[in-house]
């Protein structure tokens, strides 16, 4: 009985982890809203910009979607979200923007 309870707990944890990881360019509105840090308004902003053109990378997402910066982006990345297959911005690209 304990083994069954443990198995259910592990399966639930794995299932919830898998649900969180989403590709921002292909996720549905409902899938976006399931991500921690994206509510109804942010999902709408993402969908509107994505309809114009898919996001090229995290920098493109940050540039085009109002409110998509800093801690919010880090939360999404920690959940396994990707933009055009990228898990996080390339470091060399980030370094180039610093003065």
Q: What is the pLDDT of residues 30-63, one digit of tens each?
A: 999 999 999 999 999 999 999 999 999 999 999 9
pLDDT > 90? residue 9: no
Q: What is the pLDDT of residue 98?
A: 52
Domain with 75, as residue range(s), is 22-88
Q: Which of 27, 11, 22 is nearest to 79 (CA)?
A: 22
- Domain total in the chain: 1
The CATH code of the domain that includes 76 is 1.10.150
Mean pLDDT of 16-26: 71
- How many whole angstroms separate alpha carbon 6 and alpha carbon 2? 6
Q: Which two tokens stand for residue 18?
A: 């898998």
Q: Which two tokens stand for residue 89?
A: 């911005």
58-78 per-position pLDDT tens digit? 999 999 999 999 999 999 999
- How many whole angstroms separate alpha carbon 76 and alpha carbon 61? 12
Residue 96 lies in a domain: no
pLDDT > 70? residue 20: no
CB 58 within 8 A of CB 73: yes
- How many whole angstroms separate alpha carbon 67 and alpha carbon 5? 41
């Amino acid at each position: 009985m304990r083994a069954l309870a443990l198995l259910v707990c592990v399966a639930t944890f794995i299932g919830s982890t898998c649900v969180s990881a989403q590709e921002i360019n292909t996720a549905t509105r409902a899938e976006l809203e399931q991500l921690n840090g994206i509510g109804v308004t942010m999902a709408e902003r993402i969908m509107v910009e994505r309809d114009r053109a898919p996001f090229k990378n995290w920098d493109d997402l940050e540039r085009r979607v109002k409110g998509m910066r800093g801690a919010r982006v880090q939360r999404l990345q920690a959940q396994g979200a990707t933009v055009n297959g990228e898990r996080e911005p390339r470091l060399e690209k980030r370094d180039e923007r610093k003065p």
